[in-house]
Copies of this chain bind each other. A is one copy, B any other.
Amino acid sequence: MALKATSIDIAYRAGVSQSTVSRALRNSPLVNLETRERIQSIAKELNYKVDKNASNLRTQNCKTIALLLCEDPTNDDSLINPFFLSMLGSITRATAQQGYDLLVSFQQLSSDWHGDYEDSNKADGIILLGYGDYLDYESKLEKLLEQNTHFVIWGAEHNNKSVLSIGCDNFQGGLIATEHLLDQGRRQPAFLGDSSSHSPEFRDRYLGHSRAMKQAGLPLNKKRQFSAISTEASGFEAANKLLDSGLAFDSIFAASDLIAIGAIRALKELGISVPEQVSIVGYDDIPVASFANPPLTTVKQNTQLAGEILVESVLKLIKGEAVKAQLIPTKLIVRESTRPLGIQLNS
């Protein structure tokens, strides 16, 4: 491999000092325009690139954000919630737009990652995208706070107000999903998903659901809530529990699309038709949602916007600017898994 060109090589060829080369490459107006252009063209010719390690060491920042995907160790690759992958896409893009690099790491909850990034100057700040049990990594967050790490976390608002969280408005999402079911004449929606503080996002969706019931003057039957984590299998299981319970229900609000898809399978196996007998709304609008059978009505989170805001927020944190938690609005995507009660299509 040919030796890498350094700023000194360029200085030599250009007949100027190394300092001038450095200035010229950063396009400093201090350097005579003509000299600047000459230096830049020599740099191009030599295929010169500024050594990041050297410049970062000097400036003490590294223009890099670390993204930690904290996952449940029981999950295998193929089970990664597609929603997170979509977030990953938008975060990558947003980071690049800001001229930063993105270091990605999948972390087991168990591993000792706190501080591993910013303290070693590998990243200027951290974005945490977590799934799995929320309470499990509370203590890690505390440590990050202690160490004054710049980080934001995706999800519901945190108990500790110093933790900056950015998330979609799960309460509103739960509200509009349920309102949609009620608007279509459903009166007994079941909720599939954890509603405890272990999954604050699901819990907020459930709270929105409850609010919608209340607004409509309908009683909320807490028994019609069945816990589930965000997998198809768990949704299938939860739906079966609902069916076995013997409780009356005319619709389902599933806390995630995967849960909804599992629920549809459970209903189909018993010959219950969706949406005629039971309407179903999911959450996330993952790619599968539109291919489900029937295509799933769901609450879409704006991952594009979410990624941008996450990145913007860490960047502000890094610059020492004030940032506050934000809730990103959600949108209902109506497809064929919900239908007004009593209306029969002739097909």
Contacts and interface: CB of A to CB of B under 8 A. Distances in A.
Interface stretch (A16-24, A95-103, A203-211): A95-103
Q: How large is the interface on A (under 10, 10 to 19, 20 to 34, 35 or more residues)?
A: 35 or more
Given A85-B82, A287-B78, A52 B101 contact: no
- Tell me which of A4, A52, A261 has the highest count of chain B C-beta atoms within 10 A of its own C-beta: A52
Contacts of A287: 78-79, 82, 288
Contact of A53 (B62, B92, B232, B293): B62
B148 A2 contact: yes
A303 B105 CA distance: 17
A80 B79 CA distance: 16
A234 interface: no
B105 A96 contact: yes
A49 interface: yes
A183 interface: no
Contacts of A89: 77, 80, 106
A280 to B, nearest CB: 14
A32 interface: no
Interface stretch (A114-122, A128-136, A160-168): A114-122
A127 B207 CA distance: 45
A52 B103 CA distance: 13
Contacts of A80: 85-86, 89
Nearest to A285: B78
A54 B51 contact: no
A50 interface: yes
B106 A92 contact: yes
Nearest to A147: B47
A110 interface: no
Given A64-B103, A77-B89, A291-B291, 10 more contacts: A48-B119, A52-B53, A53-B56, A77-B93, A78-B285, A82-B82, A82-B85, A85-B88, A103-B103, A232-B291
18 contacts: A49-B120, A52-B53, A52-B121, A53-B54, A54-B121, A69-B92, A78-B285, A78-B303, A80-B89, A82-B85, A85-B85, A85-B88, A88-B104, A92-B104, A101-B103, A102-B103, A102-B104, A232-B291
